[in-house]
């Protein structure tokens, strides 16, 4: 694979093909607090020494996200994990069942990693990558590394190095010290993230290829979290973008956060404008100049005859133009949406209030 990199990248940045000899180079870079990109069985990750505070700050700066948003770490074995977290029975069972593999298990942290890696509530996500090169690096390094995906926040999933380089700023490029090129990876989902810190039940925070329930359902703990889940859902369907219309049909009670979800969706699509509620205007249209894509945000809440009004608003142009359409209170126009099932990707998203005040259960499917 050829990689084209603009001259403004870190002049010291090295790109090395993934092979046995590269392990020592990576370990050397990690030991010196450097930022290294390498492959796993899911996506390319941005690895730093998870116990080095300065390296973690560098990573935060690259990811372009606020301090306090946690990073998962990679280890080689359950015994290694126990140095950093308390494993309860639920967690141990998950390790046995799924690891190594695309599952991140969240447990109570022992505060032995650098500040900024654990979540604000002291939890820490750990996974054991099912990827030989990565495991060898961690084994030789002897310390955990961060396994966060190598893209900046709200950018496309990194399956090849150009996915990353084409979507970051010059400033971000200068932060990268080493890239291990493993070519284009299979387009697997990011890992499934499971929280085991609640005694009574397993909580899925991100749904990857491994499913623990018979439906797709994750828990959001904040508005920012809901936006992030919208982004992840977008990334599951992004490959259809420009080829088919994609319709996100939102259901859920008043105030549950449907517009918040669309804010996350817009952000993931690269829309910079403020997304506001379309309740009054019925339809708001946002265009992306870069790739001729557009987001059409519709709300049926105050429509009197929603089916026929929707038909007037969304003439088949929007479907033919392969727009992304987000519809709030979509349950009011189920029959109209069904009629378009052959021409568009239809994703039903249900948001429900949950136990804690800011918690929301978000489920989705192509029903």
- Give contact residues for other proteins (rule: CB under 8 A): 253-257, 259-260, 274, 276-277, 279-286, 301-302, 304-305, 308-309, 312-313, 353, 357
What are phi and psi for residue 350, nearest 5 degrees?
A: -115, 130
For residues 283 and 319, which CB has a smaller minimum distance to other proteins in the complex? 283
Alpha helices for the chain (secondary structure H): 22-31, 53-63, 78-81, 89-98, 132-141, 161-165, 170-173, 223-237, 258-269, 306-313, 316-320, 334-339
CA distance 105 to 125: 5
Which tokens hold the place of 204?
């899925």
For residues 289 and 357, which CB has a smaller minimum distance to other proteins in the complex? 357
For residues 50 and 284, which CB has a smaller minimum distance to other proteins in the complex? 284
Would you say 9 and 174 are in contact if contact means Cβ atoms under 8 Å apart?
yes
- In terms of Cβ atoms closer than 10 Å to its own Cβ (0-12, 13-18, 19+), residue 167 is middle
Shortest separation between residue 177's beta carbon and other proteins, angstroms: 38
Would you say 152 and 167 are in contact if contact means Cβ atoms under 8 Å apart?
yes
Shortest separation between residue 88's beta carbon and other proteins, angstroms: 31
CA distance 113 to 143: 10
For residues 15 and 282, which CB has a smaller minimum distance to other proteins in the complex? 282
CA distance 90 to 205: 16
Shortest separation between residue 295's beta carbon and other proteins, angstroms: 12
For residues 13 and 354, which CB has a smaller minimum distance to other proteins in the complex? 354
For residues 213 and 302, which CB has a smaller minimum distance to other proteins in the complex? 302
Shortest separation between residue 300's beta carbon and other proteins, angstroms: 13
**Closest C-alpha among 97, 51, 98, 41 to residue 73:** 51
Which tokens hold the place of 104?
């991140």
Shortest separation between residue 260's beta carbon and other proteins, angstroms: 7
Shortest separation between residue 224's beta carbon and other proteins, angstroms: 13
For residues 32 and 321, which CB has a smaller minimum distance to other proteins in the complex? 321
For residues 67 and 280, which CB has a smaller minimum distance to other proteins in the complex? 280
For residues 4 and 315, which CB has a smaller minimum distance to other proteins in the complex? 315
Which tokens hold the place of 337?
């949406």
CA distance 278 to 206: 28
Its sign, for the CA torsion 4, 9, 11, 14, is negative
CA distances from 273 to 224, 270, 319, 348 (A): 17, 9, 23, 25
Shortest separation between residue 264's beta carbon and other proteins, angstroms: 13
How many other CB atoms sit within 10 Å of the CB of residue 242? 14
Shortest separation between residue 357's beta carbon and other proteins, angstroms: 7
Shortest separation between residue 298's beta carbon and other proteins, angstroms: 11
């Amino acid at each position: 694979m050829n990689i084209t990199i603009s001259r403004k990248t870190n002049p010291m940045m090295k790109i090395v093909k993934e092979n046995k000899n590269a392990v020592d180079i990576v370990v050397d870079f990690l030991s010196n607090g450097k930022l290294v990109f390498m492959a796993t069985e899911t996506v390319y990750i941005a690895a730093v020494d998870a116990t080095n505070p300065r390296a973690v700050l560098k990573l935060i700066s690259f990811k372009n996200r606020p301090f306090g948003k946690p990073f998962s770490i990679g280890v080689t074995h359950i015994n290694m994990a126990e140095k950093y977290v308390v494993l309860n029975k639920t967690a141990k069972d998950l390790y046995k069942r799924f690891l190594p593999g695309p599952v991140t298990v969240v447990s109570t942290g022992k505060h032995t990693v650098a500040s900024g890696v654990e979540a604000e509530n002291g939890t820490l996500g750990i996974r054991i990558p099912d990827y030989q090169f990565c495991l060898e690096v961690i084994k030789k390094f002897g310390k955990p590394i961060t396994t966060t995906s190598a893209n900046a926040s709200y950018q496309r999933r990194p399956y090849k190095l150009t996915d990353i380089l084409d979507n970051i700023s010059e400033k971000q490029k200068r932060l990268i010290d080493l890239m291990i090129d493993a070519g284009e990876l299979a387009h697997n989902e990011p890992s499934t993230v499971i929280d085991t810190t609640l005694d009574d039940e397993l909580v899925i925070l991100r749904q990857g290829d491994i499913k623990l329930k018979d439906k797709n359902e994750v828990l959001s703990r904040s508005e920012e979290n809901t936006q992030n889940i919208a982004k992840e859902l977008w990334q599951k369907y992004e490959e259809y973008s420009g080829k088919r219309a994609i319709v996100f049909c939102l259901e859920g009670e008043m105030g549950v956060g449907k517009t918040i979800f669309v804010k996350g969706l817009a952000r993931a699509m690269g829309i910079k404008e403020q997304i506001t509620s379309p309740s009054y205007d019925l339809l708001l249209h946002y265009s992306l100049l870069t790739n001729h894509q557009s987001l059409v945000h519709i709300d049926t809440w105050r429509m009197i005859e929603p089916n026929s009004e929707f038909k007037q608003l969304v003439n088949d142009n929007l479907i033919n133009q392969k727009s992304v359409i987000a519809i709030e209170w979509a349950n009011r126009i189920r029959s109209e949406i069904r009629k378009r099932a052959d021409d568009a990707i239809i994703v039903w998203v249900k948001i429900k209030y949950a136990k804690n005040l800011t918690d929301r259960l978000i489920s989705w499917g192509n029903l």
